[in-house]
Every structure is written in C-alpha cells, then in structure tokens.
Chain A
Amino acid sequence: MKNAVDHSQHAVPEGRQTTMNQFTGQSLSWDVKDGVIELSLHRAPCNEIGSRTLGELEKFVGALAGLVAESHALIVHSSLECGFCAGADLRELYQSAQKISKNEARQGVREFLERIHRVMNTIDAAPIPTIAAVHGVTFGGGFELALVCDLIIADKMARFCFPELRLGLIPGFGGIPRLKRDLGNGVVRDLLLTGRSINATKAQSVGLVSQVAAEGEALRVARATAAQIGKFDRRTTLAAKQFIKPIPYEELRREIDLFCELFAQPAVEAGLRKFVESTDAQPYLP
C-alpha cells in the first residue's frame, strides 16, 4: 500500500556519518560537542517535516541510545535563518495524497503519524535533559518538536503557533497533550481555537518558554544552559526529569485517532489545496 507520503520519491539518504557521533543528512545533522548532542535542522525552505526529515529523525533517535552514553544534554536547533521549523510539509502531504485513493491517503497519514510519534516520544523520554533553542517561525509540527524538549530557549524574535484548526485539523505530532502538560487549559484553548501566533515574550509569560535570548543568541544561551546542567549528578537529573515530566501516552494515542478522523473530512482537502496553491504574501489561513 502506498503512503500519503511517497517514500519511493523521497527515499531517506544514507547521509554522511563519519562516526556514530556525527551525521550530516539532507534535512538535519548531529554532532557531539563538549558532552552535548546538537541536532541541527537545515532543510529549506523552513525545516518542513516531510518523509525525508522524518526518516532522518528516525535515524537520529535510533542513534540516541549510543549518543547519550557520552553526553549530558541534547540541544535541538535550526541553522536556517527563517526559523526553527514551519511544521509538517503540507505541500508533500497534499500532493502525495492527490496521487492515491482517499483510503490509501488516510492510511498513509496514520502511518506517518505513528512514526513521528515514536520519534517525538523517544526524544521526550530521552534519559538526558533536552533543550529546544528556537528562533523565528516555530509553527505546528515545529512547535510540537520544541514541546517534547525539557526546556525551550527562545530568540526574542521567535513566534509560536498552532495553525492547524485554520485548515480543519488539529495538531497531529503530539501538540495538544504536550501543551496541556505544560500550560493552563485557558492558554491551550486560546492557542488552539484561534490559531493565532504569539511571540517569545508572551510565550515566556505563560510558562512555555524558559528563557528569552537576544536576536541570534538562543543557541549560545542553550549551550550555556547545557553546560550548567552537565555539572549535576546524572542519575539525580534523570530522576528529577522523570518525576516532573510524565509522558501522556494515552492522550497521544487519542490525538492520532482524532487527527485521522478529521483528516477524512472534505473541508480539509479544500483547505490544504487553498493553502498549497496560495501565492499571496499572506498564505491562505482563515
């Protein structure tokens, strides 16, 4: 059965892996510096998460058990100017779905979600502290990737948004349960039901962001934070993390089911088409 995401056209490249500690792929790279794993996203235009990025993220979480043995923290960041990550690759999703039947598209979406949830859950449960160093656009799936991390350190120009409801969907990469884990329900409803974006200062004021950095300084601040974390006893740090940050597995499962149910609605295809085909300076987002 074909997936909504056509793997034959987007076969995951082997990438360049000189040792287990280093990898450079088409969408991301990782390296270990001073006991800190740095996972860098670099897929133009703005790190949209499609099948290629998913494949490389799977490669990363496959290597994670080995990497953490000699590391005390993980930093996830973007090396692109536009921002941290613009979310799921809606163009790939829409265009791939046009080539196959609706049932096949729905099945493909479910398989994609199952895979990305395994990636997100693995990073969420990583046995070392994790830090998202974000700047610019941190939308949808990008916001969800930041939310799996223990700390979010934001450049003052970062913006956070869950625009999914504007296209007839809900966040599908674990966003709602993880947002609920971290924030008050009123803020969660505001972000989800309006689909509006908020800046880093607002995100810090509601408890989403740990630290706000000057423009271009989020990665440097994240490295300093990782260095501080590295001073502490590893077992104690892990115990504290596991105590304070339970993973809402049951809600995450329900989110996949609800997303797939909503994805079957005709309005979603119409919304995605308008978004993908929009050439306006402000893309279609009602």
Chain B
Amino acid sequence: MATIDQTLDEILTLAASHFKVPRGRLSPDDDFFKTLGIDSLQTLDLLTRLEQHFDVELPDYELQGVSDFRTLAGRIQARL
C-alpha cells in the first residue's frame, strides 16, 4: 500500500497537471482553494479525479473544512 507521502505526492502531481500549475509551486500545507484558484465546481471536478485516480469513494462530508493537500491526503489514505 502507498505511504501517506506517496499519496500526497500523487495528489500534488495530479492537481498541478490538471489545473496547469507548476508542480514546484505546490506544497503539502498550501490552501488548495487559493493556490489552485478553484471554485466549488472545480473542487468537485478535483474530487472526482482523485476518486478515479485512487479508486476510492470520498464522501463530500469527509472533506468539509479540508483545504490543504496534507489533510486531503490523510482522508484518501484512510480509504485505500
């Protein structure tokens, strides 16, 4: 099973690629709403891509209040 650091790295790579942000600009503790400049619809898009990439279900309520990549990685890791 992937480690939390591997999961985090995959999230950052996926987000950088999809939202066309240089990978080097993204850090684990960034507020992804601000760093990626995404709105609620784009957040849903990211959620779907993460579910597909990791083959998990991520109920929205588990992500309420989550705004940094590290916590997001923890939520995903708990479902792997």
Contact = CB atoms under 8 A, between A and B. Distances in A.
A199 B61 contact: no
Contacts of B39: 281
B27 to A, nearest CB: 19
B43 A199 contact: no
6 contacts: A83-B41, A136-B41, A136-B45, A199-B51, A282-B40, A282-B64
Interface in B53-76: 57, 59-61, 64
Contacts of A82: 41
B40 A283 contact: yes
Interface residues of B, number: 18
B48 A281 contact: no
Question: Which residue among B39, B44, B47, B59 has the maximum number of chain A CB atoms within 10 Å of its CB?
Answer: B44
Interface residues of A, number: 21
B33 interface: yes
B38 A197 contact: no
B8 to A, nearest CB: 21
A82 B41 CA distance: 7
Interface in A151-165: 156-157, 159, 161
Contacts of B45: 136, 157
Interface string B28-53: 00000100001111011101110110
Contacts of A254: none
B52 A156 contact: yes
B32 to A, nearest CB: 9
Interface in A233-254: none
Contact of B61 (A156, A194, A201, A281): A194
A202 B41 contact: no
**A-B residue pairs, 9 tightest by C-beta:** A196-B59, A281-B33, A199-B48, A196-B60, A157-B48, A199-B51, A82-B41, A197-B60, A283-B40
